[in-house]
């Protein structure tokens, strides 16, 4: 396949690029490097099947120039704001980076006759509640602007598929961990412990509890769903078994760093920040029935990623 991968210099996008290249596909990677890093893709720059284009996916002219040059079989759209807290302070961020990039991608696909879209959605579209959220849950009530932006994207993708004969695979990711992470609790803890190995500040009360998935499992799940699910619009939760508390993540970061007697302090409150969903559970029946299973549970994924981040495997 000739693929276009937006956000391909980011954490998840760079792992997806590696996997697509390993499977023999061509990858045109569009990223404005606002949150991603050139070193995440440096190892692929010499590959004739890989091309990096530094461009803003919300810029219609820049994006359409990319579509004009190649006829893509499929678009993997991962470019978005991944800093949920920043989006809470400035709504423009998620409007432009999360929603508008998606609209521009859809419009370019329509104009250039590209029919297949794989979209990086999120558990944040569900909002909060005690139950395990399945793909048919509703009404959906996101609490972050990021979640709202992603839900708006899903709606536009649905309508583009219905009106213009496109096919989509909307994968709702949980919290993702692994090498090359650019954000998230584990990433923050690992960095804070490097700065101060005696004390660790934890946002909230440490009891926030969510599913975590290792990036290698996620990439595997995305491609599994893409290859197996045949509906016009395919919406899937992707996650492994179980959930992990923020305290457990902190302990995994401390243990991976080989530290002892680290004092944890808390900012307090049940929520890490405005827009944070403190407790969340996925129903993964649909993806399980399709035949996919993550190789690691949530806790095992966090522990493995903690070790990898400490070993400095970023970029590998
Ligand atoms: N990491 C997670 O836990 C998680 C969870 C759910 C969903 N997701 C989604 O997965 C995707 C990848 O996230 P990630 O964790 O790798 O984050 P990331 O920030 O590492 O990657 C996003 C990439 O998009 C790029 N980007 C942002 N705006 C752009 C624009 N206007 N034009 C071009 N490039 C732009 C950034 O530079 C970055 O490289 C995102 O869509 C994110 O919303 C991530």
**Residue of 52, 78, 146 to mutate, ligand 1, most atoms within 8 A of C-beta:** 78
Residue 255 in domain: yes
Residue 75 sits in a domain whose CATH number is 3.40.50.720
Q: How far is the CA of 262 from the centre of ligand 1 (A)?
A: 32
Q: How far is the CA of 82 from the centre of ligand 1 (A)?
A: 5
Q: Based on the domain organization, do 57 and 191 belong to the same domain?
A: no
**For ligand 1, atom 26, which residue shows the shortest CA distance?**
79
Atom of ligand 1 nearest to the CA of 175: 3
Q: Based on the domain organization, do 185 and 298 belong to the same domain?
A: yes
What span, in angstroms and rounded, lies between the C-alpha atoms of 89 and 313?
A: 32
Q: Based on the domain organization, do 79 and 157 belong to the same domain?
A: yes
Q: How far is the CA of 187 from the centre of ligand 1 (A)?
A: 15
* Model pLDDT for residues 272-302, shown as the tens digit of each residue: 877 788 888 999 999 999 999 999 999 999 9
Residue 316 in domain: no
What span, in angstroms and rounded, lies between the C-alpha atoms of 101 and 149?
A: 11
Residue 170: CB within 6 Å of ligand 1?
no
Q: Based on the domain organization, do 39 and 90 belong to the same domain?
A: yes
The predicted pLDDT at position 314 comes to: 39
Distance, CA of 125 to chain centre = 13
Atom of ligand 1 nearest to the CA of 33: 37
How many separate domains does the chain show? 2
Strand order of the β-sheet with 26-31 is: 50-54, 26-31, 2-6, 74-77, 116-122, 167-173, 233-237
Residue 41 in domain: yes
What span, in angstroms and rounded, lies between the C-alpha atoms of 3 and 17?
A: 10
Asked if residues 133 and 283 have their Cβ atoms less than 8 Å apart, the reply is: yes
Residue 315 in domain: no
Residue 34: CB within 6 Å of ligand 1?
yes
Residue 222: CB within 6 Å of ligand 1?
no
Q: Based on the domain organization, do 57 and 165 belong to the same domain?
A: yes
Q: Based on the domain organization, do 271 and 231 belong to the same domain?
A: no
Residue 8: CB within 6 Å of ligand 1?
no
Phi and psi at residue 88, to the nearest 5°: -70, -30
Q: Based on the domain organization, do 116 and 201 belong to the same domain?
A: no
* Model pLDDT for residues 11-58, shown as the tens digit of each residue: 999 999 999 999 999 999 999 999 999 999 999 999 999 999 999 999
For the chain, percent of residues with pLDDT exceeding 90: 88
Cβ burial, residue 278 (10 Å; 0-12/13-18/19+):
middle
Q: Based on the domain organization, do 22 and 166 belong to the same domain?
A: yes
Q: Based on the domain organization, do 43 and 61 belong to the same domain?
A: yes
Q: Based on the domain organization, do 226 and 263 belong to the same domain?
A: no
Give the chain's residues under pLDDT 70: 312-316
Residue 90 in domain: yes
The predicted pLDDT at position 312 comes to: 67
Residue 182: CB within 6 Å of ligand 1?
yes
Residue 102 in domain: yes
Q: How far is the CA of 201 from the centre of ligand 1 (A)?
A: 25
Residue 57: CB within 6 Å of ligand 1?
yes
The predicted pLDDT at position 152 comes to: 98
Q: Based on the domain organization, do 133 and 206 belong to the same domain?
A: no
What pTM was estimated for this model as a whole?
Answer: 0.96
Give 167's contacts (C-beta < 8 A, 6+ positions apart).
115, 116, 117, 161, 232, 233, 234
Residue 12: CB within 6 Å of ligand 1?
yes
Q: How many residues does the structure list for the chain?
A: 316
**For ligand 1, atom 21, which residue shows the shortest CA distance?**
10
Q: Based on the domain organization, do 42 and 68 belong to the same domain?
A: yes
Output the 3-class SS for the chain: CEEEEECCCCHHHHHHHHHHHHCCCEEEEEECCCCCCHHHCHHHCCCCCEEEEECCCCCHHHHHHHHHHCCCCEEEECCCCCCHHHHHHCHHHHHHHHHHHHHHHHHHHHHHCCCEEEEEEEHHHCCCCCCEECCCCCCCCCCCHHHHHHHHHHHHHHHHHHHHCCEEEEEEECEEECCCCCCCHHHHHHHHHHHCCCEEEECCCCCCEECEEEHHHHHHHHHHHHHHCCCCEEEEECCCCCCEEHHHHHHHHHHHCCCCCCEEEECCCCCCCCCCCCECEECCHHHHHHCCCCCCCHHHHHHHHHHHHHCCCCCC
The predicted pLDDT at position 310 comes to: 87
Residue 39 in domain: yes
Range of the domain at 135: 2-176+212-237
Asked if residues 68 and 46 have their Cβ atoms less than 8 Å apart, the reply is: no
Residue 270 sits in a domain whose CATH number is 3.90.25.10
């Amino acid at each position: 396949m000739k693929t276009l991968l937006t956000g391909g210099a980011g954490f998840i996008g760079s792992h997806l690029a590696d996997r697509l290249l390993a499977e023999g596909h061509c990858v045109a990677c569009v990223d404005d490097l606002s949150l991603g890093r050139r070193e995440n893709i440096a190892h692929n720059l010499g590959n004739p099947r890989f091309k990096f284009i530094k461009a803003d996916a919300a810029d219609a002219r820049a994006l359409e120039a990319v579509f004009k040059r190649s006829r893509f079989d499929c678009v993997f759209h991962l470019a978005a704001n991944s800093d949920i807290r920043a989006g809470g302070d400035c709504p423009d961020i998620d409007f432009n980076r999360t929603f508008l990039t998606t609209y521009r991608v859809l419009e370019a696909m329509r104009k250039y006759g590209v029919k297949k879209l794989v979209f990086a959605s999120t558990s944040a579209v569900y909002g909060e509640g005690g139950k395990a959220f399945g793909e048919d849950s509703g009404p959906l009530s996101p609490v972050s602007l990021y979640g709202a932006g992603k839900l708006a994207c899903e709606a536009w993708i649905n309508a583009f598929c219905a009106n213009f004969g496109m096919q989509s695979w909307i994968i709702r990711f949980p919290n993702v961990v692994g090498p090359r992470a650019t954000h998230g609790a584990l990433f923050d803890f690992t960095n804070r412990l490097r700065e101060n190995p005696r004390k660790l500040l934890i946002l909230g009360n440490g009891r926030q509890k969510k599913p975590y998935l290792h990036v290698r499992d996620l990439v595997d799940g995305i491609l599994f769903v893409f290859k197996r699910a045949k509906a016009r619009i395919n919406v899937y939760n992707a996650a492994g078994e179980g959930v992990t508390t923020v305290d457990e993540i902190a302990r995994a970061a401390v243990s991976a760093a080989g530290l002892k007697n680290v004092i944890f302090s808390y900012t307090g409150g049940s929520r890490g920040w405005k827009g944070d969903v403190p407790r969340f559970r996925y129903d993964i029946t649909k993806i399980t029935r399709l035949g996919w299973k993550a190789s690691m549970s949530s806790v095992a994924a966090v522990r493995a990623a903690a070790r990898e981040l400490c070993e400095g495997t970023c970029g590998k």
